[in-house]
Amino acid sequence: MHDERVGAGMAARPGTGHPARPEAAAGKPGRAGGAAPGGGAPAGAGSGGATSPPPPYRLLALDLDGTVLTPQGTISPRVRRAVRRARAAGILVTLATGRVLPSAWVYARHLGLEGPLVVSDGAVLASLAGRGVPGGGTAPEPAVGAEGGAPGGPGGEAPGAAVPGGEAPGVARGGRGLRDPGGAPPDRLHGPGRRPGPWTLLDVQPFPRDLAAAVTAELTAAGYPVVVQFPWFLASSHRPPVSALVRSLALPHLHHYWVLRRYVRVLPGDELARFVARAPEPPVKVSALGTAAALRPLESRILERYGEQLRLTHSGPGSFDLLPPGVHKAAGLQRLAARLGIAREQVVAVGDNDNDCEMLRWAGLGVAMGNADPAVQRCADRVTATNAEDGVARLIEDVLLGGGGPGGTAAS
């Protein structure tokens, strides 16, 4: 049996076995100190006092990389089964990821998810096409060029049409003949409708365009690969690599690469900033890629120059991400929960990296992966097994479906 683990240097909250975190003393809304979500006595209280059962968890938000995905980048059969069981039990499962929408959509499809997604580190909320959420909301109108052309550049090239060495599979210049993976025709993909693909944009928190363009110019001038996320496509200074998993025809990786090729525009570094400044869609996130050692002085320079105009976070060791202040997964998840009428105490969030910390602190139950850094584990209520040990599945099986509740174990 793999018991709940408490990372190095973390104390357990009295009566819970949960790792302590900074705001534990103050407690979350509805939870005082070690109290269970929704109030009441701390979980695990002695038999002398009645324990109020916590409200049922209704929303499970999962990070992708390092959480749902194994170290090899796959989704294990056990995790897929556990997610299916959670959904069958009435729990809405969503992804809360730093990935761009088309990338997250591929994995959502392979997990069988039907609900809305939190993508681009909380900057974008999107629902699968035809599946909205209670509470409605106004989806942003995808912008079009001055002549009514498709986003992307002069002549209305689709984002994938500028990939060096040839156009992406199935993409015709000018958008003619372009179809997204869900079979949507060009007028749905690029026109004035609400669905730029097999999804519906529900909420977009844009990066100030001038600031995004300035940061992009500085990063590319320094010689670093840069990726700029827009609500439903990427602009990049480098071509996405064909991984060994794609070459071996593994799924969903082949599907993922095929989709990204359709939603990535690759531009030389000196053109990328100009594209960001004039793109018909607002940028939402800027990322620089490189080794941690090489990026460290660049991070310091960016923070010194732009200060409180942006926030810097990490989704992995080989990059840093820039977003507007106040944009993070917790804010996106909060907006989604409000749309769904789900209380904070009924939300479970699972993650492994710096960009998950706000979400782990905000959720009624924040769960860090066993492979997360100790600093990230300190943001959480509990720690489950690693992504190599099906930590997400163990959490679902033992806590969400096994009656463990907030005081139970996080792994079996």
Two tokens, residue 268: 């030389």
Domains with residue ranges and CATH for the chain: 59-134+328-407 (3.40.50.1000), 205-326 (3.30.1240.10)
Helix (H) or strand (E) holding 200: strand 199-204
Residue with tokens 């139950």: 365
Distance CA(285)–CA(229), nearest Å, equals 5
The answer on pLDDT for 244 being more than 60 is no
Q: Which residue has the higher pLDDT, 379 or 234?
A: 379
Distance CA(366)–CA(54), nearest Å, equals 15
Average pLDDT over the chain reads 73
DSSP string, 217-246: HHHHHTT--EEEE-SS-EEESSPPP--HHH
Two tokens, residue 380: 């959480």
Task: Tell me the average pLDDT across 227-234.
Answer: 93
Exposure of 250 by Cβ count < 10 A (0-12 exposed, 13-18 middle, 19+ buried)?
middle
| Contacts for 158 with CB less than 8 Å, ≥ 6 apart | 150, 151, 152, 168, 171, 175, 178, 189, 190, 262
Looking at residue 147, its pLDDT comes to: 26
The answer on pLDDT for 182 being more than 80 is no
Residue 264 DSSP SS3 = strand
**Which percentage of the chain shows pLDDT scores above 90?**
51
Which of 165-179, 285-299, 387-401 has the largest mean confidence? 387-401
The answer on pLDDT for 109 being more than 50 is yes
Q: What does the pLDDT look like over 4-43, one tens digit per residue? A: 443 333 333 333 333 334 343 334 543 333 333 333 333 3
Q: What does the pLDDT look like over 73-98, one tens digit per residue? A: 899 999 999 999 999 999 999 999 99
Q: What is the pTM of this model?
A: 0.73
The answer on pLDDT for 47 being more than 70 is no
